[in-house]
Structure 1
Amino acid sequence: MENEKPKNFIYEIIDEDIRTNKWGGRVHTRFPPEPNGYLHIGHAKSICLNYGIARDYNGKFNLRFDDTNPEKEETEYVESIIEDVKWLGADFEDRIFYASDYFEQMYQYAVELIKKGKAYVCDLSAEEIRKTRGTLTEPGVESPYRNRTVEENLDLFERMRKGEFPTGSKTLRAKIDMASPNLNLRDPVMYRILHAEHHRQGNKWCIYPTYDWAHGLEDSIEGITHSICTLEFENHRPLYDWFLDELNIYHPQQIEFARLNLSYTVMSKRRLLQLVKDGYVDGWDDPRMPTISGLRRRGFTPESLWNFAELVGVAKRDAMTDIALLEFAIRDDLNKRANRAMAVLDPVKVVLVNYEGEEEVEAVNNPEDPSAGTRKIKFTKELYIDRADFMEDPPKGFRRLIPGGEVRLRYAYIIKCEEVIKDDNGNIIELRCTYDPDTKSGSGASNKKVKGTIHWVSAKYAAEAEVRLYDRLFTIEDPAAEKNWLDYINPVSLKVIENAYIEPSLKDSKPGEIFQFERQGYFCVDSKYSTPEKLVFNRTVTLKDSWAKKKGQ
């Protein structure tokens, strides 16, 4: 390879395989999601790893759906997964496959094992199988049906396929070793009866393969070279190998790496589904969710997720990754690509008592990208500034507007607060100020300096917008470790500002467009709730790590 490849143990294994010509110089990986939920950022890491390997070694990459459980799988999930993988830029070309496409071949492989005396039909219930499996210190107990004849097993297995038996009444089990120190080798289930309609196969099948049985066969059929899994499958590898060796078919190499654990979130699809179904979030694509669709709606870019995956790296041991690293990755990306704009989220009116008419001031679109150019902003007598940028009784070091004090309006003039207008309840409703006409930004007409610069919008030309301020969904670092994990949902993970004001240049923004609101953070036009009449902006991330500041770090 001309491009420099990452340095991790998986690449070292592949380099050695290429050196020894183990796979004839081929590298072929896959991403095999179950279509029982939306993909999350842990899947994004796996996609980046598997596709990155194929890309770096000029190999091939498959997208394969492990659709072996019709009770939990839906076409909606399939479609969302395809969209997410494409959005990340992982090019599977025309190689999109389904485990269900291989059901007939898997069935024939099972028949082959039965004929070899290596599989049998068992009448024990799932609970009885669990109880007779044994423990880490005690061997399991053999099923009373373990020694059925080959002929009886073939007959029963065929009748299972024909639908003669009720759901859960029989299984097909591998005949391995009930005393094995590896519990996965204690006669694992290969097929179970399940009378349920499959999202692709309809009612053609009523027996479905287990993951352990299907996984290696799928890799073998597709000619995968390196079957990359997370660490929880390490103890399953001997079973993966046993099935392929007993069948004497093409045998890929399974390699395990540490899954992604991200602080202040949960990664279990079961728990994510509960958050959706119980209404804690606004769907799978809620911007607080760690799903790829949620991150995309929030304003994360494919490049930021790739950068994050590279920063996390590939390890052999599980660890907790600080969500601040993810936030760093998106800030680093958006700082270079997001155009700047001004928005006032908590407005208070400013009236320039000595200013008449209106004019345009010139603003830089992106100081990190000179090619982004400039834009014109209307400057008028009445403006809005953020309420937090004025204080009547400021603390020491406050550098914004105060009674009798001066501050510069970004790209415009220095102003001075002359009078504070309040309502009957004592709330500030208006600031009356004067402007210094000799201090226009960039004019060079005055050397006058002030310590603070604040953003603003024209009250006459600004547009109203809804702004959604998202924060972390949980208040503790590892909610998944808690029995009552839902008790730790952050009650202020979403704050909705219905009447913010944005500068006119943003009025025609399209869903998905991302901007840096100066001094506020990065914001994305929401793809779900924005309308031509009123835009909705989601905060992608703050400009700085406000969470660490809140915790006093």
Structure 2
Amino acid sequence: MSQSQLVVALRANSAALLPVLLVASSVNEARPSPVINIRYEDTALLQEGDKAIVQFTGASGTPVYGTENAIKELRATYPFLKGKDEKQEDSWLSELDSFAPLDFKALEPHLQRLDKHLTLRSFIVGYSLSAPDVAIWGALRGNRVAAGAVKRGALLNLSRWYSFVEELCPWTAAVVERLNAAAKEKKAAKSKEGASYDIALLNTEKGVVTRFPPEPSGYLHIGHAKAALLNDYFAHEKYNGTLLLRFDDTNPSNEKMEFQDSIVEDLALMGIKPDKTTYSSDYFDQLYQYCIQMIKDGNAYADDTDKETMGAERMNGIASKRRDATVEENLARFEEMKKGTPEGLRWCIRAKISVDNPNKALRDPVIYRCNPAPHHRTGTKWKIYPTYDFCCPIVDSIEGVTHALRTIEYRDRNPQYKWMIDALKLRPVQVWDFARMNFIKTLLSKRKLTKLVETGAVWGWDDPRFPTIRGIRRRGMTVPALREFILKQGPSKNVVNLDWTIFWATNKKYIDPVAPRHTAILKKDIVKATVKGAPAAAYTEDKPKHAKNPAVGVKKVAYSGSILLEQEDAKSFKQDEEITLMNWGNAYVRKIHTSGDTVTELELELHLEGDVKKTDKKVTWLSTEGQEMIPVELVDFDYLLTKDSLQEEDKLEDFLNPNTEFREDAVADCNVAELKEGDIIQFERKGYYRLDRPYAPGEPAVLFNIPTGKTGGK
């Protein structure tokens, strides 16, 4: 038996193949082990919606494609991988793709099903280890999101089985080593072409603890994603430390459980797994005591100056008339605030730092305010709440944060952060600022985004024109592309106004190799053509969905003597010109019927022996016979803003683009009826699209155009 050859780029569910390969290559048998040639040109172990790019040449010399087929080939070569119920094994192996997505919502039902299946089982199939155990363990281990869910232990049976396989099989350590090597190679490659992450953080040898502290007052946008991914990178990849997710829930007027839940979900789908989740509200009792300490130490005072006057006094370096009140007076007023009385509502607590410091952030900032609104976690227990500037440094110190990585907009407040810690004699925390991501013609202000949602200017927080994580994903951005783009920006302090072009060009790199190719013809002034030389009866053929990637699968293409073409193509034809009908062959244009400037009908004559390389026009078409054409609505979008960057004095309403949504009706090939929500495809000669609403009888499929970076667009 000749040696098997395997070439695999570790992508998608090919993480499932790796342990099978290592088991096969280490077995002590007379048969030679397969030669494993693993290319790490793309070591993103999992890619949303991606199929493993695997080519395996077995003993027969015939290549097989895809992880599932490669595993079956290895199972045939190495019988110890085979159990007693091959049919059940094949059934589980066919579900490997189910464990590949980085989106926890997509993963969860499959993990739960496997958990339920393992209730009374030690192995997935039968009573001994077989290929599904090896492959599915690898798929879960290679998926950051899946592995995190398993290790958290909520799925008891799945966690038990996962640990049992690790204890039973010595090869699991080798798998982890190879996966880690892949990740390191990826990081090395990225660091050569992207930003530098050597930012000289201090005291990293004692351990690194970072935190991501979002306020649950809206959905995460791309700016938040940068903060989250950088904190995750330094905690989990560069320094092997700890990442805390802390909800800064100190403003009950704006916060909701809906926003909190969405943040958890969005972080999970980005592959970010916090080691611990906490809430600022967990520390309200301690923060209250720290404020009392500040007052007693003479470092804080109560103030009832109205907002406008206080702002003017801070701007001009004028001391508040309440600045020198006694400790007893300040404590009494703080107690009224705590009770939420009408008198208490008039007051706030300010830190007593400086009246006229050149850094206005140090001019006696507010650290506590009264708010009688119920809190979504603590109810009506509290009527007073700490500000972010007071709460954040204290909780960072209490929770053991070693490095506070945050956007450069906080730079002026860094001395304030340090003052709070010093005044309370707490453990110091190193602060590092990085530039926030700004994009042209894009709002990243949560307050302004909320206004657009509340006024109905957009469909909601997941509007594809929105820079929220849900919005850009609904538009067609994949999670691996999002991660790559943001991590390439790095922790630089340089503020730039980014164009969306590079963002979407990064995405195209991920979707182009795996997006199935389909055909859509615009309905407007659609042109019917008769094809002379076509078979008398309509017929269909199986054709690759992707000419360069057989693993994507096949589709049905219908052929007949009656086809549809687009008006724009038809108007470009000349009498007797030879054209190419894509996926069919060449044809001559024998007759062109017009009405004014519109082509009404065409007569073509097939010339299949013609050379497709010599024609200038290669056009898409659809047969009217032999298939049910699917009605589709193609949607494109423009920027929400008409100005590259809004200034402080600009009114949002003056720069809202009045026309940002463009819809066209079309018909598509019969295969489009099988697409599911979220599927990404390419309509040939039109572009890439994400299916937002699947086809249903009487309801067209709705697909959103995905920018590719050529013309920007958001």
Contact 2:334 2:344 survives alignment (8 Å): no
Deviations 1:236-287 (A, max 9, x none): 0111111111111222211111111111222212222222233332222111
1:10·1:255 contact (CA, 8 Å) conserved in 2?
Answer: no
Note the C-alpha offset of 1:228.
1.0
Provide the aligned length of Structure 1 versus Structure 2.
Answer: 519
Which SS does the other structure have where 2:200 is aligned? helix
CA distances 1:104-154 after superposition (whole Å, capped 9, x unpaired): 11111111112222112222222222122143xxxx222222223223322
Give the 3-state SS of the residue equivalent to 2:702 in structure 1: strand
Q: Is contact 1:421–1:430 with CA below 8 Å preserved after alignment?
A: yes
* Deviation (angstroms), 1:524: 0.4
For residues 343-373 of structure 1, the C-alpha deviation after alignment (integer angstroms, 9 at most, x for no partner) is 2234432222443212234433234434324
State whether residues 511 and 530 of structure 1, in contact with CA within 8 Å, keep that contact through their aligned partners in structure 2: no
Are residues 90 and 375 of structure 1, via their aligned partners in 2, closer, same or farther at CA, if it must alter by over 3 Å? same
CA deviation after TM superposition for structure 1 residue 428, in Å = 2.9
Partner SS state of residue 357, structure 1: coil
1:414 aligns with 2:586: yes
Residue in 2 that maps onto 1:478? 645
Cα distance in 1 for partners of 2:304, 2:585 equals 84
SS across alignment from 1:510:
coil
Structure-2 separation of matches of 1:451 and 1:221: 70
Task: Give, as a single letter, the amino acid of the residue that structure 1 aligns with 2:199.
Answer: E
Match of 1:398 in 2: none
Q: How does 1:280-359 map to 2 (within 5 A)?
A: 280-346=457-523, 347-355=526-534, 356-359=536-539
Please give the secondary structure, in 2, of the residue aligned with 1:282: coil
Contact (CA 8 Å) 2:302, 2:350: kept in 1 or not? yes
Q: How does 1:31-430 map to 2 (within 5 A)?
A: 31-56=212-237, 57-93=239-275, 95-135=276-316, 140-166=317-343, 168-346=345-523, 347-355=526-534, 356-391=536-571, 394=572, 401-422=573-594, 427-430=598-601
- Match status 1:434 vs 2:605: yes
Q: Secondary structure at the match of 2:364?
A: coil
Deviations 1:474-522 (A, max 9, x none): 344324577244444444432112x311212221111111011111111
Residue by residue, what CA displacement relative to the aligned partner does 1:204-241 show, whole Å, maximum 9, x if unpaired? 21111111111112212221111111111111011111
Using the alignment, how far apart are the partners of 1:488 and 1:133 within structure 2? 32
Structure 1 residues 155 and 531 mapped into 2: Cα distance closer, same or farther (>3 Å)?
Answer: farther
- Asked if 2 retains the 8 angstrom alpha-carbon contact of 1:361 and 1:412, the reply is no
What secondary structure is seen at the aligned counterpart in 1 of 2:395?
Answer: helix
Query: Per chain length, whose mean CA-contact separation is higher, i.e. which structure has more relative contact order (CA < 8 Å, sep 6+)?
Result: 1
Seen in structure 2, the aligned counterparts of structure 1 residues 430 and 475 have a Cα distance that, compared at 3 Å, is farther
Residue 301 of structure 1 deviates from its aligned partner by: 0.6
Amino acid at match of 2:565: I
- Counterpart contact for 2:340–2:371, Cα < 8 Å: no
Cα distance change of structure 1 residues 265 and 178 upon mapping to structure 2, 3 Å threshold: same
Corresponding residue of 1:443: none
* Gap regions ≥5 residues in structure 1: 395-400, 440-445, 549-553
The normalised TM-score by structure 2 is 0.68
Cα RMSD, aligned residues only: 2.5
Matched, 1:17 2:203: yes
Q: What is the alpha-carbon distance in structure 2 between the residues aligned to residue 274 and residue 378 of structure 1? A: 49
Aligned residue for 1:503?
669
Q: State the identity as a percent.
A: 35
Q: 1:313 to 1:196 in 2, by over 3 A?
A: same
Unaligned runs of 5+ in 2: 1-179
TM-score (norm 1): 0.87
